[in-house]
Structures are given as C-alpha cells and as structure tokens.
Amino acid sequence: MSDMDSLFLRIIEREVPADIVREDERVIAIRDINPQAPTHVLVVPKKRYRNAAELAVADPELLAELITVAREIAAQEGIEESGYRLLFNTNEDAGQTIFHVHLHLLGGEPLGGLTG
C-alpha cells in the first residue's frame, strides 16, 4: 500500500486542495466533495490506517479522538443538539473507496433510517 495512493495524505501535504474545517497534529477534517447532507465532513487521522478496525487495534485513543473531534465540529456547525450521524465504511461491500480510515460526520437535516 503506497502512501501516494492516499488522497488524504495528498490533502495533508497541500498537494490537493480541500475545504479544511479543522486540523491539528493528529487529525484533519475536510468537507466531503460530494456531500450527502448539509453538513458532511470527513474526520481523518493523519497517520494512515486502512480502516476503522485497524485503527482500533493500533491506536484506540486516536479512534476516540476522531469521535471527539466530530462532536466538536458538530457543535461548530450548530447540529450537536439536532443530531448527527457518524459512519465508517469498512471495505468494498460497504462502499469504502478511500483506504485511509475516515469518519463521516453527517447532519443538518433529518437523515432517515439506519442506512439513510
């Protein structure tokens, strides 16, 4: 798995433009280019893991940090109280297309049933 394969690493390196809503040493959050809700942000650890399961084994604190950062962004977006969905797609059948783990934060309108 080459690091060059990761769109998110290229965004972190500013080789690809993105609408960055938050960044610190460990995490970057960007608006999804094809939003599925009024708020659709991708919360991404800067260190690359293939999916959420790999991250959970390797660095559970970082996994928890993604959820905390998502809550803070939800608050900034004014949707913490109205509600939001956090989602990891894991591997092909789930629709994962970028194999650098990322937490989807969705909200800003009623999102429908479990799978949207």
Q: What's the rounded Cα separation, in Å, for the pair 104 and 116? A: 13
Among 46, 59, 65, 96, binds ligand 5GP (CB under 6 A): 96
Q: What's the rounded Cα separation, in Å, for the pair 98 and 91? A: 9
Q: What's the rounded Cα separation, in Å, for the pair 113 and 116? A: 5
Cβ distance 112 to 50 under 8 Å? no
Q: Which residues 75-94 are close enough to bind ligand 5GP by CB under 6 A?
A: 89
Active site residue 100: no
Among 12, 21, 29, 30, binds ligand 5GP (CB under 6 A): 30
Task: Report if residue 110 touches ligand 5GP, rule: CB under 6 A.
Answer: no
Please give the DSSP secondary-structure letter assigned to residue 103.
E
Among 9, 12, 18, 29, binds ligand 5GP (CB under 6 A): 18
Judged by the rule CB under 6 A, the positions of this chain that interact with ligand 5GP are 7, 18, 30, 32-34, 42, 89, 95-98
